[in-house]
Amino acid sequence: MEIVNDDPPQFPPSTATRLQCVAKLLGLLAVFAIVGTLVNLIGDDTASVAGPTDGSDSGDVIGEFLVSGSSTVFPIVQRQAEQYKDIEPGVAIAVEGPGSGDGAKKFCAGEVPIANASREFKDEEIEICEANGIEFIELRRGIDGISVITSVENDLIDCLSFNDLYALTGEESLNFESWAEANSLTEQWGGTQFPDVALDVFGPGEESGTFDSFAEIVIEGVAKGKTGLDIEAREFVDTVRPDYTSSPDDNVVVEGIEASQYSLGWVGFAYAQESAAAGRAKLLSVSVEDGGACVEPTAETIAAAEFPIARFLYTYINVDDAANQAGVADFVDYMLSDTGLESVSAVGYIDLPADELDKAATTWANRTPGRQYGE
């Protein structure tokens, strides 16, 4: 039986034909590769451009750094760092509060990109920064009222004048162990006569901006005649007594106040207010002159500059680190955003007025270096 095949005869392909097929296949593969690369490139650019710019979680910043300085400013920045972590989880920010002076040392040595201070950097600190080639941006952050406190069990004192505070905490009161010993000073100008009860003084140490501000506003204020005393009649000191119990931790200061019935001390308003609310300390009113109006530290009196021991709070940013260290500029942007600024009042301090906020925003936006407010 004969088998008939209607299909055309099949011949093995020639070498030329095989080469043509291979060339076509390679061409197709090359086209696919180019298309795939273009898709990836377009996808990357789109992800970068479409990233959130409204403070929502972008997760595209990676970095880590330390913020050091004032224990007073610490709660503000600590809260901001915690909230910023939700926006940029790739940025690890550690915040510490050893004191304004200690923070300035680290900052001017180039060890930290951001430092907080409860007073302006001193001239000698600026000189160290300059010697080390550190340019800084100076921003005001909020307002604080240094609060004078005593034990809640002390029912003998409700108000102290600057002259009273000088007699109790100035260097002339060195070794005074009772309130009554200060009478040897106050009787010279007809001031308050104190009861004979034990005097235990607690406050921040010399590394603290709160220490510097208290000394400058109160003790130096008396020595310069700002309280009406005749400074030509006698010699006044301008330094705080060195024999009080000091700590860089305001919570430790409050613990000392709480443990001694007739204690006396000073801390930032946020700590004082929190301690008073918890029944751990009593806020004392303050008058500038003997017999003057006693003003209690409150958010309202501090904001209105009625409370006499008020001061601005500051943050310093390293210009070079802001430009080159990942996360630094972005965090400062957040600190000055509406959400970030809420932390100032949230932890118990006073918001800056609108003109001060505008100045801080402009200074940062322009990266304007150097002192902005004078010393």
3-state helix, strand, coil split of the chain in percent (to 5) is: 45, 15, 40
* Residue 255 burial (CB count, 10 A): 16
DSSP characters over 4-47: ---SPPP-PPPHHHHHHHHHHHHHHHHHHHHHHHHHHHHHHHHH
Domains of the chain and any CATH numbers: 63-143+312-365 (3.40.190.10), 147-308 (3.40.190.10)
**C-alpha distances out from residue 322 to 80, 134, 336, Å:** 17, 12, 14
Alpha-carbon gap, residue 71 to 54, rounded angstroms: 31
Tens-level pLDDT at each residue, the chain (375 residues): 333 333 333 333 443 344 344 334 334 434 333 334 333 333 333 222 222 333 444 557 788 999 999 999 999 999 999 999 999 999 999 999 999 999 999 999 999 999 999 999 999 999 999 999 999 999 999 999 999 999 999 999 999 999 999 999 999 999 999 999 999 999 999 999 999 999 999 999 999 999 999 999 999 999 999 999 999 999 999 999 999 999 989 999 999 999 999 999 999 999 999 999 999 999 999 999 999 999 999 999 999 989 999 999 999 999 999 999 999 999 999 999 999 999 999 999 999 999 999 999 999 999 999 999 975
Alpha-carbon gap, residue 237 to 288, rounded angstroms: 17
CA angle 206, 178, 166 (to 5 degrees): 45
Residue 350 and residue 143 in contact, taking contact as beta carbons nearer than 8 Å: yes
According to DSSP, residue 146 is labeled P
Alpha-carbon gap, residue 234 to 232, rounded angstroms: 6
According to DSSP, residue 150 is labeled E
Residue 165 and residue 149 in contact, taking contact as beta carbons nearer than 8 Å: no
According to DSSP, residue 243 is labeled T
